[in-house]
């Protein structure tokens, strides 16, 4: 059985000792019935994992000693940003959950002309971001990686294209005639940083599509069937990760 995994941010660590939060401690002791001497892993959300054992356990306090620290535990070697149309309801939660499991490093919610979601007031935007961070944290633990993906503040498509650095590969998934297939990745085996761009429910407008292409993104087709935006984000991530050798 896999060693149970917990989350504790870097500030919970002092030397080789790590304290779990009360919620994580409760889960460890009351739900998982772990005790002093139980072997555990602790990930810090910043790419570091500690393999160790519990040295003190009550229902509200668990202390762990690290026997071995592992940098980039569970992390892919490619750094992938997924910029995807922000959808109504909880569809973007699905994109973040599945994308985290597949190794996305950064999510950028995109607001475009045809987005059903408009730039919301700051308090609502902050609440949404907090919810997405929780989704990413739970998925990080579940899939046993050590980096909690960043969730960017929602950006308009133009701001994203104007202000985001181009990476080694910049792919926009567009159901347009001149789009290429993902076979182009055969020529890019060693890339280390990738931007993927996926549209919202109603897709990008013609002007936006032109802007995306002028901004240096390569148009990619996924074939004749049109995927829902919350399907497209995880699917393109899986396909790209697989073709870059990250799902072996």
Residue closer to ligand SAM (CB basis): 136 or 239: 239
Closest separation in Å from C-beta 163 to ligand SAM: 20
Q: Shortest distance, CB of residue 178 to ligand SAM, whole angstroms? A: 12
Give 73 or 173: the residue with its C-beta nearer to ligand SAM: 173
Which lies closer to ligand SAM via its Cβ, residue 4 or residue 203?
203
CA separation (Å) from 77 to 7, 70, 122, 134?
22, 15, 34, 24
Minimum CB–partner distance for residue 214 and ligand SAM (Å) = 17
Identity of the residue, 65 or 238, whose beta carbon is nearer to ligand SAM in the bound complex: 238
Minimum Å gap between C-beta 206 and ligand SAM is 10
- The residues binding ligand SAM (CB under 6 A) are 173-175, 198-199, 201-204, 221-223, 225-229, 232
Q: Which is nearer to ligand SAM, 21 or 221 (CB)?
A: 221
- Nearest-5° Cα angle at 94, 93 to 98: 120
| Least gap, CB of 243 to ligand SAM (angstroms) | 16
């Amino acid at each position: 059985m896999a060693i149970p995994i917990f989350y504790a941010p870097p500030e919970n660590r002092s030397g080789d000792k790590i304290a779990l939060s009360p919620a994580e401690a409760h889960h460890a002791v009351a739900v998982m019935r772990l005790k002093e001497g139980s072997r555990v892993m602790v990930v810090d959300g910043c790419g570091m994992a500690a393999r160790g054992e519990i040295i003190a356990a009550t229902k509200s306090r668990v202390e762990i000693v690290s026997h071995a620290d592992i940098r980039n535990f569970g992390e892919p070697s490619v750094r992938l940003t997924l910029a995807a149309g922000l959808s109504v309801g909880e569809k973007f939660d699905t994109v973040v959950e599945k994308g985290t499991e597949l190794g996305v490093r950064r999510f950028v919610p995109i607001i475009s002309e045809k987005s059903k979601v408009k730039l919301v007031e700051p308090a609502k935007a902050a609440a949404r971001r907090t919810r997405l961070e929780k989704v990413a944290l739970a998925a990080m633990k579940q899939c046993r990686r050590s980096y909690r993906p960043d969730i960017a503040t929602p950006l308009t498509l133009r701001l994203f294209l104007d202000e985001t650095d181009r990476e080694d590969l910049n792919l926009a998934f567009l159901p347009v005639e001149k789009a290429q297939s993902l076979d182009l990745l055969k020529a890019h085996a060693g890339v280390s940083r990738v931007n993927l761009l996926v549209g919202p429910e109603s897709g990008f407008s013609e002007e936006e599509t032109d802007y995306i292409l002028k901004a240096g993104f390569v148009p990619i087709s996924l074939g004749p069937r049109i995927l829902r935006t919350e399907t497209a984000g995880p699917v393109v991530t899986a396909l790209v990760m697989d073709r870059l050798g990250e799902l072996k």
